[in-house]
A = this chain, B = another copy of it.
Amino acid sequence: MRATSTEATSIGVDVGGTKILSVALSPTGAILARKKIPTPQQIDSAIGNPVGSSVAAAVAETVAVLAAEVGLSPTTCALGLGVPGMVDHSGTLIFAPNLHGAIGANIAHLVGDRLNRAEVGVDNDANCAAVAEHHFGAARGVDHALLVTLGTGIGGAAIINGQLLRGAHGFAGEFGHLMVDPAGPACPCGGKGCLERYASGAGLRHLSTEAAAKGELSPEAAESPESLFNAAKSGEHDALAVVDRFCWWLARGIANLCACFDPELVLLGGGVLEGHEIVLGPTSQYLRDELEGGQHRTPPRLEATALGPDAGAVGAALLGERTKR
């Protein structure tokens, strides 16, 4: 059954630590169908890389269902995957704090085997999202853009001269793990004081907990990022101060990225900001202050992503098309 008269030509899958989102995409970027399933957490002890193989099985199954729905063959259609971690040029997930059990797995190969096909594109999820925003979203026509996605951690990607930066091994854009405080809290990556300890969902929790422990935030507001934002929106002074601190850290992190890349545009996305685009204003202001030579230059534009939570899956579909060619 076709959702519209436009033809789907590719399928993209965004494999997250908690859910797997698949979309069927038209050549103009229209999403003709989508599926969302939970990411399997169980361990399949019969096979070499346990969680990797159960994730691959779930991906293959959801792709087969989605393909049937839009009249594509799961064996021959363009297919790409976005995964939350560092993917090397062979497609192997070499490091993934949020999909730990899949480290060492080549999910593209595992999915390909189950669907009886060879070409499956795979890349880091933020890289996929950046490609999608550059093709169809808020970075269209921009040659130098960064994407910073704020979820539990921070995802990142750089568009340079109109091309995605993958780096020598495929690991560029790991913006969440820039160390910004040698006295900062430990990070699941093994480091300490990483940017994502301050300027992500986990960062908001850290800043809230810290403030609450000092008696500078009510326990209710400190409960979750959502409750913090709600308290801030209702004008609670202490909550506003924590959100302000979060904006400073985010701006400071972006200023570090600007020192490296000098982008024209920085796109902010991810679940943490959804409905809370209010932080863009103060973050822009802090960025102007923190930018080297800020008084002598135009700071980059700071904008919300256009494709929202679909960006990763849309970019994976684009990657699938490139892989097929």
Residues on A facing B (Cβ under 8 Å): 86, 88, 94-95, 103, 143-144, 158, 160-161, 163, 165-175, 177-183, 189-191, 252, 255-264, 290, 292-294, 296-298, 300
Known contacts: A179-B180, A292-B189. The answer to whether A260 contacts B158 by CB under 8 A is yes
Contact A292 B177 (CB under 8 A): yes
Contact A171 B262 (CB under 8 A): yes
Copy number in the complex reads 2
Candidates B252, B256, B264, B294; contact of A256 at CB < 8 Å? B256
Candidates B167, B183, B189, B264; contact of A262 at CB < 8 Å? B167
Cα distance A292–B193 in the bound complex, in angstroms: 13
Known: A166-B262, A168-B263, A171-B258. 11 other contacts (CB 8 A): A94-B297, A95-B292, A95-B293, A160-B165, A169-B262, A173-B260, A175-B259, A177-B292, A178-B260, A189-B292, A260-B261
Candidates B171, B177, B190, B292; contact of A174 at CB < 8 Å? B292
Contact A292 B191 (CB under 8 A): yes
CB A225 to nearest CB in B, in angstroms, measures 21
Cα distance A191–B163 in the bound complex, in angstroms: 31
Contact B297 A168 (CB under 8 A): no
What are the 7 tightest A-B residue pairs by CB atom distance, in nearest-first order? A167-B262, A95-B293, A168-B264, A144-B168, A172-B262, A171-B262, A174-B259
Closest to A248 in B: B182
Contact A179 B300 (CB under 8 A): no
Candidates B143, B160, B179, B297; contact of A160 at CB < 8 Å? B160
CB A205 to nearest CB in B, in angstroms, measures 19
Residues of B within 8 A of A252 (CB): 179, 182
Contact A177 B95 (CB under 8 A): no
Cα distance A43–B144 in the bound complex, in angstroms: 38
Cα distance A290–B194 in the bound complex, in angstroms: 11
Contact A296 B95 (CB under 8 A): yes
Offer 9 A-B interface pairs, CB within 8 angstroms, sorted by A.
A86-B292, A172-B262, A174-B260, A178-B259, A179-B255, A181-B182, A182-B252, A189-B292, A190-B294
Contact B180 A180 (CB under 8 A): yes
Closest to A158 in B: B260
Closest to A262 in B: B167
Residues of B within 8 A of A257 (CB): 260
